[in-house]
Structure 1
Amino acid sequence: MRLTVRGRLTLVYGGLFLAFGMVMLGVTYVLVSQQVPGKAVVRGATGITLDSGVAGPQPAPEVFFQQVVRDTREDALSALLTQGGIALLVVGAVAIALGWLVAGRMLQPLHQITETARRIAEAPAADRGLHERIALTGPDDEIKQLADTFDLMLTRLDRSFDGQRRFIANASHELRTPLTLNRTLLEVALQQESASAEVRQLGTTLLAINDRHGRLIDGLLMLARSERELTERSYVDLADIASHVSTDDIKAELGEAATVGDPVLLERLVQNLVENGVRHNLPDGGWVRVVTYARNGLATLEVSNTGPIVPRYEVETLFEPFRRLGNDRLAGPGVGLGLSIVRAVARAHGGEVHAVPRDEGGLVVTVALPAAQPWP
């Protein structure tokens, strides 16, 4: 188990204190031992008698006093080491406790930075939560400079993402006008009796291309909208939406899966998944199954189908815009934004999307959203 920064700082503080304390105790011991004499000079010992009650030969007075001096010196030095060691341990324990408190106090700004970064990282979408700031107060030291730099980075990222969303929305709206005009002109041209077969064939092809571009623009608008904060929340049952968008040839096992969110976005989520399963299904002998249920506080939607074998390393790329299996750019009837919109809508509602390839071919795509609280 690795120690935290607070624990390591406390050990450093305590270790340094005990090390310097031991050095000081050793220096004090040496100095005291030099000052306390090891023997005494005895002059004029005449007239001093020893205890007559002691049997046996009595030592000379000078020898007796030298022994007393040596014993006193050893007792003093021993008491110095013992009492000093005990005092060092007690004060060291207090110093370690104070070091723990001081380290926690010093690391409090870092905890604030970490909590802000964690909230931003755990936001449903990449740009969600970028409006938060640390706004650390206190002296202009290294930690405050780090927090201010982090706030500056968040400000620039927030502006960048916001500008990207506005660009997509504005560009999509601006492109609607020429596409609508092109469609009107083509329809008028095709209705003329003088139009030849070649002109009608060309007009039909151009209308199909125009419709594809229109779906692309609608997808970009939906993607830009799904990545914003939700402004509308209401009770939605995924089973009702799945029943509405599913056709008779789709296997449906629909149990109640209620959540709270934007009904339009959630309908698009379910519709995109079902249409994606149908579009990439096997033409003969294939099937598409839609399952909804509520379990463990999650409203879950599962869409599985048969289809081509999908390598596991390519599953994640299917959720990127304008990507499809085996190709960087979409070349089929879709516009390549279906699964990207699904993931963006799910994350906007605090959920997540997972896709698992089937061994026989096809995918199992699972959307898990926070379940709605039961009515009181």
Structure 2
Amino acid sequence: MKRLTIRARLTLVYGGLFLLAGVVLLAVTYVLVSQQMPATFGVTLNRAPAPKLDRIIDPGDAEQLRVFARQVQDEARQNALESLLTQGGIALAIVSATAFAFGWLIAGRALQPLHQITGTARRIAGAGIAGRGLHERIALDGPRDEVRELADTFNLMLERLDQSFDGQRRFVANASHELRTPLALNRSLLELAITRPGAPAELRQLGETLLAVNERHERLIDGLLTLADSEQQVVDRTSVDLAEVVGHVAEQLGTELPVYRQLAPARTTGDPVLLERLTQNLLENALRHNVPAGGQVWVSTGTVDGWASLVVANTGPVVPGYEVETMFQPFRRLRQERVGGGRGFGLGLSIVRAVAGAHGGSVRAEPRHGGGLVVTVLLPAETSVRAEPEHAPPTQPGYPGPARPGQLPPAAALPAVPAS
């Protein structure tokens, strides 16, 4: 059974109390009027003395006249009481309907602060990235009542959460910066050791191994810095065409796997460096997590309904749908809690989502039929970019983009050029 809303329940309480009071008032009025109204209803026929009555009218006719007069009086009294009930009931129904209508308006007015709190919470929850939007507060005016205390408590919670997330981002950024210096020093010392004339072969091999480990740590620090920076809202924006970014990144990959491109203009505004990193992470992720032989990668761009889209799909292992969301969490990979080995750190898709969110967009990933993954990035098109987008980017599976996820044609049917 569907429960009534608070507004409907308040309206029923207001209107019900008014209707109950009206019914009680009408009943009390009926009883008082019934008791105070004389039985003769203002006309009294006394029995006249027989001599006088005999002179006026026949005794039998006089008695009939008295009976008729009493009947008329009783009928008039009954009609008056029934008219009181009927007219009073109609008036009570009209006034009660008006009371219910006013009760609905008053309940909506009383609940308006709660709608404001709900709207603020919904905007913060829809910010896309944890910590985004926590700077917003509920500017609630009015007396310090229960609703005002609720709003103040909510603002205090937002302030503490905002400070916590800011402190976490600052810690990651500062720690990454501090770790860069010793890593750079280690790289310099190792390069000096292995390039020194007369260095033994064992030393060269050990130095190259340590350089590879040092390079891996540098890439991890660089990814953490990018993740921390991209979680901030982009303020300085320039015009960027995702098609040009994809073309540039694809040319720089130098991979043996074919990357089939279907690039239509997809202009947006944002940070070119972050958008290039977003594209690079998607393509590198599609190439790295592919089948050992015969793998392919498809990438397409386009603009539809005010959103610039970038779709990257690849062949690869079958990805369960329930594990897709965990791949966007930092340091998480498919079927692994923590990353290990040389396949990456699990920051690629996390950075992609952070960069997209910083540009007011969104990222959606879906398992590809036959294996692999289809990742769709939606960013506000250049003509519709706002500091705070009026409408959230569409994230439903059936998004009508120029290249719908899960429906990419085979590579042989694409009118596209593979990257060299």
Fold shared, TM-score > 0.5 on shorter chain = yes
Matched residues in 1 for 2:110 and 2:273: separation? 49
Structure 2: tracts of 5 or more residues without a match = 385-420
Comparing 103-112 with 207-216, which one deviates more in the overlay? 103-112
Residue 345 of structure 1 aligns with an amino acid whose one-letter code is: V
Alignment deviations for residues 122-161 of structure 1 (CA, whole Å, 9 cap, x no partner): 2242222211111322222111110010000010011011
8 Å contact 2:233–2:359 — kept in the other structure? no
Matched residues in 2 for 1:274 and 1:313: separation? 23
Comparing 131-140 with 152-161, which one deviates more in the overlay? 131-140
Matched residues in 2 for 1:36 and 1:87: separation? 22
Matched residues in 1 for 2:382 and 2:3: separation? 40
Matched residues in 1 for 2:168 and 2:222: separation? 17
Identity of aligned residues (%): 63
1:350 matched to which residue of 2? 360
TM-score (norm. length: structure 1): 0.92
1:28 matched to which residue of 2? 29
2:381 matched to which residue of 1? 371
Matched residues in 2 for 1:235 and 1:172: separation? 30
1:340 matched to which residue of 2? 350
2:266 matched to which residue of 1? 257
Per-residue deviation, 1:44: 3.7
Matched residues in 1 for 2:34 and 2:199: separation? 121
Residue 342 of structure 1 aligns with an amino acid whose one-letter code is: V
2:139 maps to 1:125: no
Q: Tell me the SS of whatever aligns to 1:276.
A: helix
Per-residue deviation, 1:179: 0.4
Per-residue deviation, 1:107: 1.3
Q: How many residues align?
A: 370
1:297 matched to which residue of 2? 306
1:266 matched to which residue of 2? 275
The partner residue of 2:120 within 107, 116, 133 is: 116
2:76 maps to 1:72: yes
Q: Tell me the SS of whatever aligns to 1:335.
A: coil
2:190 maps to 1:186: yes
Matched residues in 2 for 1:32 and 1:71: separation? 15
Matched residues in 1 for 2:335 and 2:61: separation? 111
The aligned runs of 1:273-288 (5 Å cut-off) are 273-288=282-297
Structure 1: tracts of 5 or more residues without a match = none
Matched residues in 2 for 1:81 and 1:308: separation? 81
RMSD, matched Cα = 2.3
Structure 1 runs, 4 residues or longer, greater than 6 Å off: none
2:399 matched to which residue of 1? none
8 Å contact 1:238–1:259 — kept in the other structure? yes
8 Å contact 1:45–1:61 — kept in the other structure? no
2:410 matched to which residue of 1? none
2:14 matched to which residue of 1? 13
8 Å contact 1:293–1:299 — kept in the other structure? yes
Matched residues in 1 for 2:76 and 2:292: separation? 105
Alignment deviations for residues 7-60 of structure 1 (CA, whole Å, 9 cap, x no partner): 3322221122112211221222123222224458743435679x99xxx96753
8 Å contact 1:42–1:62 — kept in the other structure? yes
